[in-house]
């Protein structure tokens, strides 16, 4: 757990450092050899943190301390199975609702902190059994997707920084404030 939080902190700190440096650096200033070497090393370390250490720390935490194994069928809820929302939208700490001897969390069957502990049924036309290990793998995939999206967004932001936004064409307006479509 500590390694996951530490690598997540490093990822967020690296992203913020990238944006703060990009705002401070003048656009079009020539780069020196030392700056290029330092920037390439920092970017390589950042990519190792984002694409190697963070997903690995997540998978180690999930399979180790949380014990999300493949024989544990259901979607782990963690502490969420103790919360419900009342009619006014406020969160109430409560024990699980009992209905016909089954525990429910907002109409989702819950047992031992797992949602759909017997699988998700489709009105008698089949059942989808999702294991806790599958949910851990989905979490690692989401880390990769978010990291790649942030990576691409950072590249686009870096290339477009310093460019003036195109001015919008202001249409003439009527006395009532609505834009005129036809010339008067």
pLDDT tens-digit map of 29-55: 899 999 999 999 999 999 999 999 999
Residue 67 corresponds to which tokens in the numbers above? 């014990």
Which residue in 52, 39, 42, 43 sits closest to 7, CA to CA?
A: 52
Reduced to 3 states, what is the DSSP secondary structure of residue 145? helix
Q: 101: alpha, beta or left, given left = phi > 0 and alpha = psi -120 to 50?
A: left
Per-residue pLDDT reduced to its tens digit, 48-87: 999 999 999 999 998 988 888 888 777 776 655 555 444 4
pLDDT 10s digits, 125-175:
777 778 888 888 999 999 999 999 998 998 898 888 888 777 777 778 888
The rounded distance, in Å, linking the Cα atoms of 15 and 154 is: 9
Q: What is the CA radius of gyration of the chain?
A: 26
pTM: 0.70
Q: Report the distance separating Cα 140 and Cα 128, nearest Å.
A: 21
Domain boundaries, the chain: 1-70+140-162, 73-130
């Amino acid at each position: 757990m500590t390694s996951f939080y530490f690598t997540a902190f490093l990822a967020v700190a690296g992203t913020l450092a990238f944006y703060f440096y990009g705002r401070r650096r003048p656009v079009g200033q020539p780069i020196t050899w030392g700056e290029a070497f330092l920037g390439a090393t920092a970017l390589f370390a950042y990519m190792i943190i984002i694409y190697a250490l963070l997903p690995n720390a997540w998978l180690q935490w999930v399979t180790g301390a949380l014990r999300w194994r493949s024989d544990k069928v259901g979607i782990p809820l963690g502490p969420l199975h103790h919360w419900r929302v009342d009619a006014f939208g406020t969160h109430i700490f409560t024990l699980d609702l009992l209905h016909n001897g089954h525990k429910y969390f907002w109409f989702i069957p819950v047992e031992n902190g797992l949602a759909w502990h017997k699988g998700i049924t489709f009105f008698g036309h089949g059942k989808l059994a999702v294991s806790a290990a599958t949910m851990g793998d989905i979490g690692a995939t989401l880390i990769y997707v978010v990291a790649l999206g942030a990576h691409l967004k950072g590249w686009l932001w870096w290339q477009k920084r310093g460019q003036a936004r195109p001015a919008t064409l202001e249409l003439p307006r009527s006395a009532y404030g609505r834009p005129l479509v036809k010339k008067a």
